[in-house]
Structures are given as structure tokens and as C-alpha cells.
Amino acid sequence: MGAVRIANRLRRIGAVGAVVAIPILGGCGPSVGEVSGHLETVGGPAPGLPRPVPGAVVMVDVHGHETTVHAGTDGTFMTDLAPGAYTVTGTSPEVDSGHKPCGPDTPLSVTPGQTAFVTLACQIR
């Protein structure tokens, strides 16, 4: 409901002159950030180039809340998350039957309205 319609309605019910708080919902900006990334293997036999792998990616915030997304066969994943710091780990059935966690060296920081990029590298021998 627009501010003008609210003001007209208040006039009709006799609330003119009263202090009324009107929440403004539009234009508040995004309350989430986007996370985009890749799950891949590194190392192995020469030449040891990164290779995308499918799997699961788990993001855990400072309160212990988990968000799980799936990386496709091209290793990519994407999701929206609340702002904050996250620990990110991934697993792939193609790396130690999905039992070896893969991850970045640093925590992930999510900012409202921004896209954070992360690569999860699964070291293979």
C-alpha cells in the first residue's frame, strides 16, 4: 500500500495529527548475498590440472546453521545466503568415495547484494 493511500485512509478514520509509523518496504536493498563456486580436483598424475567434479557443498555459519547445495557435473554451484562468515567444505563421490572433505583455506564472507566466489579444491594423489 502506497504512502498516499495510507495517508488518505488515516484521514478518513480520523487519525490526522496522530503520530503513525509507516514502514517503508521498497528500496531497502537486498538482505542476502550470492555464493557462486566450483568443486574440483587438483593434483594427481601429470599434468595434474584442475578437473571439475560433482558433489555436495556445505556452508556453516557462526551459529552452526548448515546450508547444503549440490555441484553439478561441471563442478559449479550457486546459492543465496544471509550475510556473514561461513566455513565451506565439499565432498565428491569421485574423491575417496565422498569421504574426503575439500575446501578453501579461508572462511567465506557473504555481503548483501554481492556475489562471493569460492573454489573448493579436492587434493588427489
- Tens digits of residue pLDDT in 14-30: 544 444 444 445 556 67
Is pLDDT at 93 greater than 50 in this prediction? Answer: yes
Q: Is residue 4 part of a domain?
A: no
Average pLDDT over the chain reads 83
Q: Is residue 7 part of a domain?
A: no
Report d(CA 25, CA 33) in Å as an integer.
19
Is pLDDT at 119 greater than 70 in this prediction? Answer: yes
Q: How many domains does the chain have?
A: 1
- Tens digits of residue pLDDT in 28-62: 667 999 999 999 999 887 777 899 999 999 999 99
Asked if residues 101 and 52 have their Cβ atoms less than 8 Å apart, the reply is no
The per-residue pLDDT for 16 is 46
Q: Is residue 117 part of a domain?
A: yes
Q: Is residue 14 part of a domain?
A: no
Q: Which domain holds residue 86?
A: 33-124
104 alpha-carbon distance from chain centroid:
15
What's 116's domain CATH number? Answer: 2.60.40.10
Q: Is residue 13 part of a domain?
A: no
C-alpha grid cell for residue 111? Answer: 555481503
Q: Is residue 52 part of a domain?
A: yes
Q: Is residue 91 part of a domain?
A: yes
Report d(CA 112, CA 125) in Å as an integer.
38
